[in-house]
Amino acid sequence: MIINKLSEIAVSKRMNIAEISRITGIGYSVIQRLYNDKVKSVEIETINKLCNALECTPSELFKFTPDNFL
């Protein structure tokens, strides 16, 4: 499972959805869905813009936890 940590990072940097949208040029509704973890996929360019704006790496933005199938 991949865990989206956008909201956690945004809070720690005291940034809101509108500010992230303005800085990245990504639509407010896209950021809002990401922030609320309501997406199934994210484009590489979106990840790149978010990492630049939030001064983080993709591995900080997303956390991987193996699924337990047993």
Mean predicted confidence (pLDDT) in 41-52: 97
How high is the pLDDT of residue 59?
96
Asked if residue 68 has pLDDT above 90, the reply is: no
Asked if residue 10 has pLDDT above 90, the reply is: yes
Asked if residue 13 has pLDDT above 80, the reply is: yes
CATH architecture of 2-54: Orthogonal Bundle (1.10)
Mean predicted confidence (pLDDT) in 3-30: 97
Helices of type H across the chain? 6-12, 17-24, 28-35, 44-54, 58-61
Amino acid (1-letter code) at residue 51: C
